[in-house]
Amino acid sequence: MSTHRMLRFAIALALAPVATYAQETAPQQTVSQRGGGLQEIVVTAERREASLQTVPIAVTALNEEALTDRQVTESRDLARFTPSLKMFSNITSPTNLSPSMRGSLQQDASLIVAESPFGLYVDDVYLARLNGNNITLADIERVEVLRGPQGTLYGRNTLVGAIKFVSRTPGRDPWFKASIGAGNFEQYKGSLSVGGPLGGSDSWAGSFSALLTNTDGMFKNVNPANPRDTGLQRNWAARSKLHYMGSDKLDVVFSVSHSDAKNDAQQLIPGVTPNVPANRQFTSDDIVPGFYPNPMNPTAASLVHVGTYDVYTPIVPRLPASIKDAPEGHTQQTISSINLSYDLGWSTFKSITGYVNTKDTLTTDYSGHGTVVGSNNLDVDQFSEELQLVGKAADDRLSYIAGLYYFQETGDQAFGWNLGLPFSSSTIKAKVTSYSAFTQLDYNITEALKLTGGVRYTRDKKDFDFVFNGLLPPVTPVLGVVDLTNTYTQTTPKFGIDYTLPASGAIDRMLVYATAAQGFKSGGYNGIAIADFKDARTPYGPETNWTYEVGIKTDLLGNRLRINANYFFEKAKDLTLNATVTDPVTNVSSFPVQNAGDATVKGLEFEVTAVPVDNLTLFMNGSLLDGKYDRVDPTSAPAMAPANYNVQPTVPQTPDYTVTVGFDYGIDTSVGRVKFGADWFFQDDYVSAATNDFRVQPYNIGNAFASVGFKDHWTAKAAVKNLADEAIIPTGSRALNGFVPLPRRTWLLSLDYSMN
């Protein structure tokens, strides 16, 4: 979308509430006094509780009801409702997502050295690994997605934002919830959540939650030697919390959770692009079924087969030893934390202690027909400690937060590759030690006008030990060793100003804000080595940006309409992008991470919610993006795009537009409360990766649900995703001839019991 069109849209959206503000009608009541309209959502985006509409940050917040109604059951569903966010299934495993936001991305999500461009947090504990980041949402009270650099308050690798998963904490009110469900593709689901005071005590409360989900059979194996439908995803998770609240000054929450996911690895469908020359960019519409070199099945399979996808998975013993006979994956993650706060009188002291262990093993058929098979075995531990002082001064005109953060991660990972014969193997030992200090001050010049200033200093020290073994010529050398240590430091400031307009006319509340902030993502290492280890010897540097943003948050028409919008202008330096480089002699591809160059990414993000009448909610959210390179490193993959594919390089994953529209409506009947709703997601075309060889065509996906409540505590529900049963391929590799599709149409019938 052109800059002029984007600006016109931004101005129109921003001025709509301003024009309404000028109308001379009777002032409305405050939000806390109104009923029957939009809910007020409390968030902790600035590390303290505040209303979403008073926080001068672009935040998408979904509470428990919204998560349920909009069928947000796992992390990747958030992309439908969050402007500028993408979370596609990674090429390795369905439990690993490749995240991107505002043109910054990480595609090798399975690597021990891969780092997300935005932070992931569970109950304020940072998760460094992307393995298992497709979090199954069990007992989640709220999800907050913060957009824009968040380095001042959140720290590590919050280059373009942060996602916070907030689970329910037990208190003095008991609750009990249970659910069972079943659907197509062998779906079944069961969940339980219970919590409240322990033994009648006013000092202690506890909770326990558990979830089990299963799906299988979305992929049809056309190999006659192994005619079994595949696509198994079986996940279970449990969380327990203990809350001490027996003191007016001290509050402590102990939490431990464990998740276990087993699957058939990522199922890639085989495809080729015979109608597109190798030196031309191809699109998702150009992919046709791949041919299989098996005399028992010489014909091509269809990419789509009666509502499923086709794969060709041979079952033969493979070496190196880490490779299994058939694709499979297993991810386990344990998260434990102690969140403590103590009222000092003049300030509040907070401590967040976290420990995370992640284990991830997989064997993946990257070609969809057994010619390129890789394995991974990862085990990593992380420990973090954050100390904060939070309070107010100067007659409560000054709000402050200051803190120290320590993080250490150690782990190892082993790879094996088979390209028809045992090809190579490698091992990684990695260690990260990070320290940071931060502060943010908010000063109210008047009750309406506030200035914000913050800064964070970060020091990351990284160790990378790598051993490579070539097992088959022409892979050389037979043995390679890499031993690297690098230290990265950065000071990231933030400046902001916001103004709250008094209620007047049709405006119930209006916040306008402007910020300037620097983002930082640490440098790192290349961990994928198939034919040689030259990429592993070359670390990549940090990625930084300066982002300038203006925004508006408005509640209008008696709390019936909410328009939140922001326009950002980001100057990114040394974009870190995953590339695909094919050796012209061996025809073997490597996948380095490169500092591709500098770019300008700008866009309008908007979220509109309306309650025109009681019980009916309409919503729309989306983004208009524009990304262009200002400088391209001449050795990087984008620089090769004109020669290799006859296209000018485009910043990956910045479609001109992404929009979701939807509604939900509820009505009380003699049987109980009936509720139904739907949403529809639209997305323009975009380049998937730095190489610029693959352009994903525009697509849309619809979802719907209907439910009925009865006998006070029971709810029956039917839900459908991908209503039109679209076959959509958003990512993949022409070099490997394997492509990752989005799920086909799925439906689920469930029965819930709830007692609060």
pLDDT at 18: 46
pLDDT at 31: 33
**Assigned token pair, 465:** 């030990």
The CATH number that applies at residue 72 is 2.40.170.20
584 within some domain: yes
Distance between CA atoms of 128 and 491, rounded to whole angstroms? 20
Q: Are 437 and 403 in contact (CB under 8 A)?
A: yes
Q: Are 755 and 114 in contact (CB under 8 A)?
A: no
pLDDT at 254: 98
57 within some domain: yes
300 within some domain: no
- Report the chain's C-alpha Rg in angstroms: 26
Distance between CA atoms of 723 and 752, rounded to whole angstroms? 23
pLDDT at 36: 65
Q: Give the domain extent around 490.
A: 3-283+290-295+310-755
**Assigned token pair, 564:** 């939140």
pLDDT at 178: 95
Q: Residue 508: CB partners within 8 Å, gap ≥ 6?
A: 28, 29, 30, 31, 34, 555, 556, 557, 558, 559
Q: Are 739 and 269 in contact (CB under 8 A)?
A: yes
303 within some domain: no
pTM for the model:
0.92
> What is the count of structural domains for the chain?
1
Q: Residue 4: CB partners within 8 Å, gap ≥ 6?
A: none
pLDDT tens track for 141-179:
999 999 999 989 998 899 999 999 999 999 999 999 999
Q: Are 100 and 84 in contact (CB under 8 A)?
A: no
Q: Report the phi/psi class of residue 712: left, alpha or beta, with left for phi > 0 and alpha for psi in -120 to 50.
A: left
pLDDT at 323: 87
In three-state secondary structure terms, 199 is coil
pLDDT at 474: 67
- The CA-based angle 592-597-599, given to 5 degrees, is 130
66 within some domain: yes
Distance between CA atoms of 745 and 239, rounded to whole angstroms? 30
Q: Can you spell out the DSSP letters for 490-519? A: EEEEEEEEEEEEPPBTTEEEEEEEEEEEEE
pLDDT at 709: 94
Residues of the chain with pLDDT under 70: 1-36, 134-137, 290-307, 316, 474-477, 586
Strand bridging mode 204-215 / 187-197: antiparallel
**Assigned token pair, 322:** 């880490």
320 within some domain: yes
302 within some domain: no
Side chain identity at residue 103, one-letter code: G
Q: Can you spell out the DSSP letters for 270-314? A: EEE-TTS-TTS-EEGGG-EEPP---TTS-SPPPSEETTEEEE---
pLDDT at 463: 98
Residue 224, preceding peptide bond in cis (omega within 30° of 0): no
Whole-angstrom CA distances from 289 to 70, 222, 286, 306, 439 are: 34, 12, 10, 15, 55
562 within some domain: yes
The values of phi and psi at residue 155, to 5°, are 85, -125
Q: Residue 181: CB partners within 8 Å, gap ≥ 6?
A: 187, 188, 189, 190, 717, 748, 749, 750, 751
End-to-end CA distance of the chain: 48
Q: Give the position of tokens 């689970």.
A: 167
pLDDT tens track for 636-648:
999 999 999 999 9
Strand bridging mode 219-221 / 308-311: parallel
